[in-house]
Structure formats: C-alpha cells, structure tokens
Amino acid sequence: MHNTVPLFNWSLKDALHTLPDSFARAKLRILFVILLFSILKAIVVVIVAVFADQQLQLNRAVAGIIVYIGLLKLLLAYPQRLQLFGHVMLCLGLTMIWSNILFYVHKANIPVLQFAFMTILGSFYLLGSRTAFIYSALAVLPIAIASFIEGFYIVSDPEQLASPGYEILNVLNFITIIISHYFFHRAFTENIAEKEALNAELQQSIAAAEKLAEARQQFVSTMSHELRTPLNSVLGVTELLLEDSKDQQQKHHLEILRYSTSDLLSLINNILDINKLEANKVQLESTPVNAYELATNLCSVLQLKAREKQLSLTVECDEQLKHLVLLTDPTRIAQVLYNLVGNAIRFTEKGSVKVSLGLLNRVNDSATIAFSISDTGIGIPAHLHDEIFQPFTQASKETTRKYGGTGLGLAIVKQVLEQFNSTINLQSSIGDGSVFSFTLQLSIAQQSIAANTEVNDADRGLHLKILVAEDNEINQMVLQKQLERLQVNATVVSNGLQAYDAFIQHDFDAILLDLDMPYQDGYETIKKMRELKDPVKSQAHIIAFTASVTEQEFILKSGFNDHLYKPVNMHDLKEKLQKVNGSRNEIEV
C-alpha cells in the first residue's frame, strides 16, 4: 500500500491504494462519482443553456465545471484528505439547494429535493453523525421555509433549466444516488466479510493459544517434576547426614549444601510460580501456623549466608504474637519472607538484616499482623520503587552483574501478597538501606500454642503405619530413612497398581501417593481407592506426593486429603503426618 500519489495523478486505482480500509475507499469512490457526474451534469446544463439562451444557468454551469474539475484533480492527488473534500462537496450541495430556491426556481422542485437527499446521505456517509445533523438541517431548512413562506427568493423571475436538460439532470442525479449507495453498501458487506475473516482467524489464534497454554502447562508440570525430584534426594540426604554428623567441619559443609539446595529450590519455585501467579491459578491454603516459628525457621536456613557476609540476621516479635496460632498459607508466607530476606542479605555488604513481626490489632478471631524486613544495604533510588516489582527487573545492569539474581523475587512477592489482599510497601534511598513491609489480616486458630507444641513433640515419635507409593528408587531410600527417624512403619511400593493391591490387603493409617508413576498414576489409584465399598478404606487419609507445583487445585478436587511437595524436608513430612496422628488419637478417645 502506497502512502502518497504524484501531484498530477489522474488514476482512481492509484489513489485507492493509499487508503487503509474498505470504508475509506468507499468514501473516495463516492466523492469521485459525485464529482464525475457533477461535471457531466454541468456539461449538459451548458449545452441546454446555450440553445435555450439561459445565461444565468450557463454562467453557473461553466463555474461548476471549473470547480468540479479542480476538486477532482485535488481529490486524486490527495486522497488522504477525504474529510476536507467531504466538507467541500457538502457545502457545494448546500449552495445548489439554496441558490435554486433563492435565485433560480423559487421552489423545491425535483433537482432541489435530489440535492437535499444527496446532502443528507452524503454527510452521514462521509463525515459521521454529529456533523451530518448540521448539514442535514441546513439542507432541509430552505425547503421548509420556501414551503411555508411564499415569495422566499431574491431574483423575481424564476429560470428553471429548459427541457430536455431538466429531465436529463433528474436522471443523472438518480444515477449518482444509486451508485453512491452501491459503493457504500459494497464497503459495508466487504467490511462484514473482513470482520468475519478476522473473527475466524481470531478463533484459530485462540485455539492455538489455548493449545500452546496447555502445552506450556504440561511443560511446566514436567519441568517441575524433573527438577524437584532429584532435589528431593539431595535435600533429604543432606538433612539425614546433618543429624548423624558429629564433625563440626563436616556439619558446616552440609549446612552450605543445605542452603545451596534451598536457594536452588527457591529459584525453581520462583520460575515455576511466576506463570502460575500471572494466570491467577494460585489457591491459598488455610493451615495452623505460628508466625514467629515460621520466620525463625526460615531465617535459620538463611543464617549461614548472613554469617558468610558477617551480617547480623535477627528476628523480633511481639510477645503476644509468639503465642498465637494463625490460619493461613505458610508456604506462601515463607516464600515472601524468603525472597525479601534473601534479597536483603544479597544487597547488604555490612551491618544487619532484621525481620520484625508485630500484632497491630486483634478483634475476636481475627488478627492483623505487620511484617517488616529492614537492612543496611545499598538502597534503591525513589524513581525505581515501582519498577523493581516488575518481573525480570532489577535496579540497574550494574546491580545484576555485581549481586546476581533473576529479578523475579520482588515480582512474586507483590503477586503473592495480592492473593492475600495485601500490598508491599517500600521505604528506601541510595546508601540508606531499605525497609520492605506488609500487613496480613489472618484468622486465629482455636488451638493454643501449648497444645500445638505438645503435638509437635518430635522426640515421642509418631508410631504410624503408612503406605508409600514412589517410583524413584533414591527417593524411596530417602523417604524410608526420614520415616524411620519419625518412628513410622512404612511399606514402600513402586507404582499405583502395587499401591492399590497393598491397600486392599493391609490396613494403613495413611497413604503417601506419588502422582506421577508408571502403569497407574496417583489420580487413577485414588479414584479406585475412593470407590471401594468398605467405608473405612474408602475414607482413608491419602496425601498426594508430587514434584509439580501446578496441580494444587486438581489434587484437592481428586479426593486427596492433603499434599506434600518435593523436595520433602523432615519438618514438612512430620507436620503432615502429625495431622494423621492427631486424627487417629481423637478417634481412639
């Protein structure tokens, strides 16, 4: 498509090529036809006026020919100025209507009505409704006045064009109206056809996008499984070795390994979660948790990194909050704190990092908790306070090179807090450190901290009999070792078929069921277990064991009582099985 045409262009085809859509091309065709027929009508008037000796009509026709030829030339040279030419043609149409009534025929004859009709429709076709109403009113006004006021004219002697010019003029006017309507109707149908074609393409694009999203979701799920499964072994073995190790240097090395594994796990979670959060597919859990214990445990993992940089990492908490058990999603809160505290350590060269928890308000069964993470680091310039919360964004390229990081942490913090109906606040300036803060309104659990502590007494053991279905041999070994430490008797199988057979033949307090197994996956297995007629077995406590972080909603809908993400650490495993132990004790009582 050309943007311009030569100044002396006389080709309608070349002018049409410069216009972007069917309606614009229709307007050009309509103006072209009106001007062409106006020239033809003027020529007819000249011929008739010469033979009929009608000087007034002759003068007007000659002037019209000159004006119309000039306008036609300009229209083909500057087709983009359609609106301007539309105004000019409508003004000429009004001139014809008013001059006929005031000077020539003194009444609304057929040509006057034709010009009025063409002016009204042309104004709507060429300019749009608001301007069209003005032109329409000006076209109808002289006709209305002449109909009610006799003698509404300036020249006393009327001079209607002689026959057969008058009849030819009427026919040409009708042809002009018909062709103009045809061009506009053709543009209308072409536009509908274009829209239908675009809609068809859009439907194909939507289908392709849905297919791509499904493939992407499958890819994320697969990558989650493939990345987190080996991490499960690394983290599990590291924790077991830490408990067994007596050598301080070896413990130090294992602490480094545990921190590095946790850091890698956090990075993987961030990469996998960013898509999930943007698609609003994150569902918050409601689990009893003590905020102070959560923050303390998390900071103990990060303490090694802080010590390496000779930083002080401390947790401050209101005494009242230390004894409150809250109902919330501990995984997501830990994710927020891990990213914020990890960033604070990364961007602080000397000084301290402090995590503060405060109880702002408590009303009935609800508490408002304030979280604050402050550091003495490099600080963030004010103009970047909003930008750093965008995915893959850091304060500067120099910051990325010097301190590393993916730029995902703060974006995830912001989006996770939005799930809690909260926002992240930042106070920072260059060289003065940073303070990230947010508040959460959470429900207070009915159980007391003392009761919670009693249940969490690990030394007493759990004494459960559970079935574990896991196809990875290394993970089987790690799980068995972890469960032995918790004094849990575990029967381990390698796929869903074996799990179902063992479930039928023996009684278990709980089943730990991997979702991704050969022969029969976890979803098929739990479906068969839930369909059993035995009311005790069909209501068994079944925990989904998975490396995928994208299936949370589907897991709960499939009949699982709980889920456990890989890599599994001793704390999470113990916490899930304690629920089973507590439920069993309640039944026994």
Report how far residue 444's alpha carbon sits from residue 324's, in angstroms, rounded to the nearest whole number: 7
For 42-51, what is the mean pLDDT? Answer: 90
Taking alpha carbons only, the member of 38, 39, 28 closest to residue 5 is 28
Q: What angle do CA 560, 281, 279 make, to 5 degrees?
A: 160
Report how far residue 500's alpha carbon sits from residue 520's, in angstroms, rounded to the nearest whole number: 10
The residue whose two tokens read 């799920």 is: 221
pLDDT attached to residue 355:
94
Chain centroid to CA 134: how far?
Answer: 44
pLDDT attached to residue 453:
41
What's 559's DSSP letter?
T
Percent of the chain with pLDDT over 70: 86
Taking alpha carbons only, the member of 22, 390, 421, 6 closest to residue 183 is 22
Torsion angle in degrees (nearest 10) through CA of 4, 5, 6, 12: -160
Q: How far is CA 161 from CA 36, 110, 392, in A?
A: 20, 12, 78
> Residue 446: left if φ>0, alpha if ψ -120 to 50, beta else—which one?
alpha
The pLDDT tens digits for 411-424 are 888 888 988 999 99
Q: How far is CA 406 from CA 223, 260, 385, 508, in A?
A: 18, 16, 17, 44
Report how far residue 265's alpha carbon sits from residue 273's, in angstroms, rounded to the nearest whole number: 12
For 429-453, what is the mean pLDDT? Answer: 77
The pLDDT tens digits for 307-348 are 888 999 999 998 889 888 999 988 889 889 988 998 899 889
For 199-219, what is the mean pLDDT? Answer: 82
Report H helices in 8-128.
12-16, 22-52, 55-77, 82-99, 110-126
Strand partners, 469: 493, 513
Report how far residue 160's alpha carbon sits from residue 166's, in angstroms, rounded to the nearest whole number: 8
The pLDDT tens digits for 528-573 are 999 988 888 888 999 988 766 556 667 878 889 888 877 777 777 8
How does strand 352-363 pair with strand 366-375? antiparallel
Q: Which helix (H) or strand (E) holds 557?
A: helix 552-557
pLDDT band at 277 (very low <50, low <70, confident <90, very high): low
Q: Is the pLDDT of residue 446 over 60?
A: yes
Q: How far is CA 43 from CA 37, 103, 478, 541, in A?
A: 10, 20, 101, 97
Report how far residue 25's alpha carbon sits from residue 17's, in angstroms, rounded to the nearest whole number: 8
Torsion angle in degrees (nearest 10) through CA of 374, 396, 224, 242: -50
pLDDT attached to residue 589:
39
Hey, what domains does the chain have and what are their CATH numbers? Answer: 12-162 (no CATH), 286-453 (3.30.565.10), 458-588 (3.40.50.2300)
pLDDT band at 587 (very low <50, low <70, confident <90, very high): very low
Specify the pTM: 0.51
Contact indicator for 509, 584 with CB cutoff of 8 Å: yes
454-485: burial string, b at 16+ Cβ within 10 Å, e else? ebeeeeeebebebbbbbbbeebbbbbebbbeb
The pLDDT tens digits for 63-97 are 989 998 988 888 888 888 888 888 888 898 898 88
What's 104's DSSP letter?
I
The pLDDT tens digits for 91-140 are 988 988 888 888 777 777 888 888 888 888 888 888 877 888 999 899 99
Residues 6+ apart with CB under 8 A from 150: none
- Please state the length of the chain: 589
Residues 6+ apart with CB under 8 A from 332: 282, 284, 285, 416, 419, 420
